[in-house]
Amino acid sequence: MSSSLPQILLVDDTVANLQLVSDFLMKAGFNVLAVKSGVQALKIVAITLPDLILLDVVMPEMDGFEVCRRLKAQEETQDIPVIFMTAVTDRANPSYKIKGLKLGAVDYISKPIQLEEVLLRVQTHLQLRALTQQLTEQNACLQQEIRVRHQTQQILQETERRWRSLLENVQLLVVGLDWQGDVEYMNPFGLGLTGYTSAEVFGKNWFNTFIPSSDQPQLKQTFHELLYHNSYAYYQNSILTKSGEERLIAWNNTVLRDITGAIAGIMSIGEDITQRQAVERMKNEFISLVSHELRTPLTSMRGSLGLLKMGVYDNQPDKAKRMLDIAVTDCDRLGRLVNDILSLERLDFGQVTLVKEVCDVADLIKHSVEAIDAIAEAAGIAIQVTPLSAQVYVAPDTIIQTLTNLLSNAIKFSERNTTITVGVQHQSDCILFHVTDQGRGIPTEHLERIFGRFQQVDVSDSRQKGGTGLGLAICRSIIQQHGGEIWAESTLGSGSTFYFTLPVYGQTSPSSLL
């Protein structure tokens, strides 16, 4: 008998029945295990699990109900279909069948047994069992699939959350455009930068809203080429904010496609490089200014020394000395230029730590005047200091450097027998210094410009007065780093006044000042 045949466990204490049903089922193609008692049946089941059990109800020792109860109590055996066989009629005991069904039996066969009926019921329940098993397996597969989908969904949600958090927190402009160039998305940084709300930009045409009109045709063309030829993945252009300000953005673009592969639009990530560009431009301008300024004395020096080397003035010692004087003067100027450039750079890039201390204003002015007194005397100029007393919290050397520079300028640009006055006023929230001369004055349009680097009113100033055009730029940097301001007022031909302020230190009595 093949083991792949359905296996039926037949349990009946009536040997004739056992024989009859067993023979019949075997002929019908089943593998039958026949036992005479419930106890034997349970022993068999512990060794091999049948596909179906035909169970007599009334048996000595252990009746069919008890066998069934025990089978249903065990996990391994609870699913085996049990069909009761009994001679107790429905009419004799109507609750009998119900009791069996309640215990988990699937069917009843009444004795005397109709073999055809047994076969039909066995076949039906085996089929039902097979179908149930199939359904259970399918159900398990479905449950597994649901679990996998649920996990996938959670992973997707997490990925989406991470992307969203990245888009919302990144300090870069992120813009999504559809294939027509209409805005589908702009991240909070982009909204902050442009000054719009999300409702104001959604659906707006990018080019018409954000691009200066003169750049629109070119950028529309670029957008088209990016979409359909995947070119221009990186470029820079200006965008307009809501207030009309222009910002320069460096873009990184990606073409987006829908699930069918059709072009859907672009996602662009942009960095605001306006500031960097400005710094870069300033740096370049500064380098070309410095190169120009350094070349002038160098060329002059080269000229003088070249003439000497060629022996042009070998027999004219006065002229040769004059050439050497020029070379020395230019050399000094070069030295001053390099020093000024270095100190300005150090100040501007915060490499100079201002070591501040409480200083008396009178002392600062006294030291500055002393440093410049000899030059003033040689130039025939008097320096008059208004007596005062106030305290400031400053790096003294730098303030003396500022005052000395202003005094030196005042001397350079004044005639003999004039007077320079230095004074201080106590303002409500600061100390105001002033250096006033009776010199040539400064044209109004130069009053602000002279605080820039290498700015001089007259191109001959550097040559004739030996300046570098960096002194006032250094003064401004020093004063600004002390939290003050510096500026000039002037009347052409009558003189100039340079002012600067420093924050007041502590409580100073106004009566003790000017």
Q: Cα–Cα distance between 390 and 510 in angstroms, integer?
A: 9
Site stretch for ligand ADP (CB under 6 A), options 12-20, 282-290, 297-305, 439-447: 439-447
Q: For residues 268 and 496, which CB has a smaller minimum distance to ligand ADP in the complex?
A: 496
> Strand, helix or coil at 251?
strand
Report in angstroms how near the CB of residue 286 gets to ligand ADP at its nearest.
Answer: 15
Backbone angles phi, psi at 280, to 5 degrees: -60, -45
- Under the binding rule (CB under 6 A), the answer on residue 439 touching ligand ADP is yes
Which residue of 450, 479, 486, 502 would you call a contact of ligand ADP, by CB under 6 A?
450
Angle between the 317-348 and 471-481 helix axes, to the nearest 10 degrees? 20
Which residue of 376, 437, 482, 501 would you call a contact of ligand ADP, by CB under 6 A?
437
504 DSSP β-pair partners: 392
CB 394 within 8 A of CB 502: yes
- Under the binding rule (CB under 6 A), the answer on residue 297 touching ligand ADP is no
Report in angstroms how near the CB of residue 490 gets to ligand ADP at its nearest.
Answer: 7
Q: For residues 174 and 442, which CB has a smaller minimum distance to ligand ADP in the complex?
A: 442
Which residue of 392, 433, 461, 484 would you call a contact of ligand ADP, by CB under 6 A?
461
- Under the binding rule (CB under 6 A), the answer on residue 442 touching ligand ADP is yes
Q: For residues 389 and 480, which CB has a smaller minimum distance to ligand ADP in the complex?
A: 480
Q: Which of residues 471-490 bind ligand ADP (CB under 6 A)?
A: 471-473
- Under the binding rule (CB under 6 A), the answer on residue 100 touching ligand ADP is no
Report in angstroms how near the CB of residue 242 gets to ligand ADP at its nearest.
Answer: 40
CB 45 within 8 A of CB 9: yes
- Under the binding rule (CB under 6 A), the answer on residue 433 touching ligand ADP is no
> Strand, helix or coil at 30?
coil
- Under the binding rule (CB under 6 A), the answer on residue 270 touching ligand ADP is no
Q: For residues 70 and 463, which CB has a smaller minimum distance to ligand ADP in the complex?
A: 463
Q: For residues 194 and 462, which CB has a smaller minimum distance to ligand ADP in the complex?
A: 462
- Under the binding rule (CB under 6 A), the answer on residue 341 touching ligand ADP is no
Q: End-to-end alpha-carbon separation of the chain, Å?
A: 128
Q: Which of 429, 431, 411 is nearest to 421 (CA)?
A: 411
Q: Cα–Cα distance between 144 and 150 in angstroms, integer?
A: 10
Which residue of 118, 193, 372, 457 would you call a contact of ligand ADP, by CB under 6 A?
457
Q: How many residues bind ligand ADP (CB under 6 A)?
A: 23
Residue with tokens 């002392």: 363
Give the HSE-up count for residue 84: Cα atoms under 13 Å, Cβ half-sphere: 28
Q: For residues 118 and 450, which CB has a smaller minimum distance to ligand ADP in the complex?
A: 450
Token reading at 68: 């069934």
Backbone angles phi, psi at 263, to 5 degrees: -65, 125
Report in angstroms how near the CB of residue 514 gets to ligand ADP at its nearest.
Answer: 22
Three-state secondary structure readout of 151-196: HHHHHHHHHHHHHHHHHHHCCCEEEEEECCCEEEEECHHHHHHHCC
Site stretch for ligand ADP (CB under 6 A), options 91-99, 352-360, 369-377, 405-413: 405-413
Closest-by-Cβ residue to ligand ADP is 467
CB 502 within 8 A of CB 478: no
Distance of CA 240 to the CA centre of its chain: 22
Site stretch for ligand ADP (CB under 6 A), options 241-249, 395-403, 406-414, 479-487: 406-414
Which residue of 237, 268, 404, 409 would you call a contact of ligand ADP, by CB under 6 A?
409
Which residue of 65, 84, 189, 413 would you call a contact of ligand ADP, by CB under 6 A?
413
Backbone angles phi, psi at 35, to 5 degrees: -135, 160
- Under the binding rule (CB under 6 A), the answer on residue 440 touching ligand ADP is yes
Give the HSE-up count for residue 369: Cα atoms under 13 Å, Cβ half-sphere: 17
Element (H, E) at 138: helix 115-169
Which residue of 22, 187, 402, 456 would you call a contact of ligand ADP, by CB under 6 A?
456
> What is the residue-wise DSSP string for 368-424?
HHHHHHHHHHHTT-EEEE-----EEEE-HHHHHHHHHHHHHHHHHTS-TT-EEEEEE
Report in angstroms how near the CB of residue 339 gets to ligand ADP at its nearest.
Answer: 12
Cβ density class 418-438: b for 16+ within 10 Å, e for less: bebbbbbbbeeebbbbbbbbb
Report in angstroms how near the CB of residue 492 gets to ligand ADP at its nearest.
Answer: 10
- Under the binding rule (CB under 6 A), the answer on residue 64 touching ligand ADP is no
Contact positions toward ligand ADP, by CB under 6 A? 405, 409-410, 413, 437, 439-440, 442, 450, 455-458, 461-462, 467-473, 496
